[in-house]
Amino acid sequence: MKRIFKKKNAALTNKLKGAIAEISIDVFGYEKKISHNIINHTRNIATWENVLSERLYLRISQEEHKVISNLYDQDQHIKSVPTDELAFFFLEEGIAVLPNVRNKIAFSIKKYLKEFATANQICEQDVQIWLNVKQDVVTVKAFHNKTYIKEISLLSLIKYFK
């Protein structure tokens, strides 16, 4: 009887270790603030473009070591988003206008794309991150070119912005 209990404990311990490895804590509330900024900026763009905000996707990738961002209405390209404007998705307007902050956002995204590519054994140039807002919740999905890889937490992306 003792052996059976130990085996169950070992299995439970392994499950808990796996679950805990995925947990991250947002002590300072960065995720809530950045999520709020993404939602508001997406709503503003939806109003300007006269589309539903839930149909908008911000797609971020890297090309020749440069961050490329594009805005889509579902699969229809609306416009390219320059790095200067990209900062407004993640930061409050007063902070996003600062030049050194805009550069830091681009650098942080490049770093994230590189580490994600390495972890998933794919080329950096093939990684795409798609951000979308549905029912006031920001979803972040990773793609290898156009092939879906997985959903990632916003916190895992923004931890590079600190």
Q: How far is CA 148 from CA 17, 50, 154, in A?
A: 27, 28, 17
Decide: pTM greater than 0.85. no
3-state secondary structure the chain: CHHHHHHHHHHHHHHHHHHHHCCCCCCCCHHHHHHHHHHHHHHHHHHHHCCCHHHEEEEEEEECCEEEEEEEECCEEEEECCHHHHHHHHCCHHHHCCHHHHHHHHHHHHHHHHHHHHHCCCCHHHEEEEEEEECCEEEEEEEECCEEEEEECHHHHHHHHC
Tell me what pLDDT residue 26 has. 47
pLDDT winner (highest mean) among 6-15, 18-27, 91-100, 128-137: 128-137
Tell me what pLDDT residue 21 has. 45
91: nearest Cα among 73, 78, 104, 79: 104
**pLDDT, tens digit, for every residue of 43-92?**
999 999 999 999 999 999 999 889 999 999 999 999 999 988 888 888 88
